[in-house]
Amino acid sequence: MLVSAESIDIRPPRSSEELDFEGLTSWLEIARRLQQIAREKNDDVLSQLSPTGNRQLVLTADTTIVATDAEGSYRVLGQPPDDDSWRAVVRGWFRDLYAGRSHIAATAICLTDRDTGQRVERIVQSHVWVRDDVEPLLDWYLATSEPLGKAGGYALQGLGSVFVTRVEGSITNVVGLPLEALVEMLPQLGWPFIGP
């Protein structure tokens, strides 16, 4: 075991305000913004910590879904809106951007050693393919309310998995945190991963 559950302290950033992706059209711009969001979360959490005498690592991440529309332009899909329009928005995503196509689940990770200030960052991409015939399942899926609070409006680890036909890359990335990348990043800060 790497660390005990008792030694993990979950601290959300003080502010839930995040930069958006409005006006970003290239993959590079989207990736930079995603990493900036994870970095700003990391800085926020670091500012909340007081010295403990123990070594502390701060891990933050942000995941989003990046699809391409009919014209081939990137569309960044965060969480559905938290008003009554969410069903129509998610239905549109499935019909227009997911059905019979692939999209990217992208997660930016920021890992900082509080004692040394050393930081490592990474962006992980996984390609997700969705079935052609989403329509027969959409009403049922939307009735579950599972899309709420989920980047791209679905959860691979939940009921949304009925739409997914293939994942290329890290499955844990699509679920929310690419553990394979984290295991590779820890030694860069002098924390060798020791498996079970």
The residues annotated with a catalytic role in the active site are 62
H helix intervals, 14-78: 27-48
Specify the DSSP class assigned to residue 22: T
Lookup: tokens for 125? 């991409």
* CA-wise closest residue to 157 among 173, 144, 143, 180: 173
23: Cβ contacts below 8 Å, ≥ 6 apart: none
Residues 6+ apart with CB under 8 A from 193: 2, 183, 186, 187
CB atoms within 10 A of CB 160: 21
Cβ neighbors of 93 (< 8 A, separation 6 or more) are 67, 77, 152, 153
Pairing status of strand 102-113 against strand 57-68? antiparallel
Output DSSP code: residue 105: E
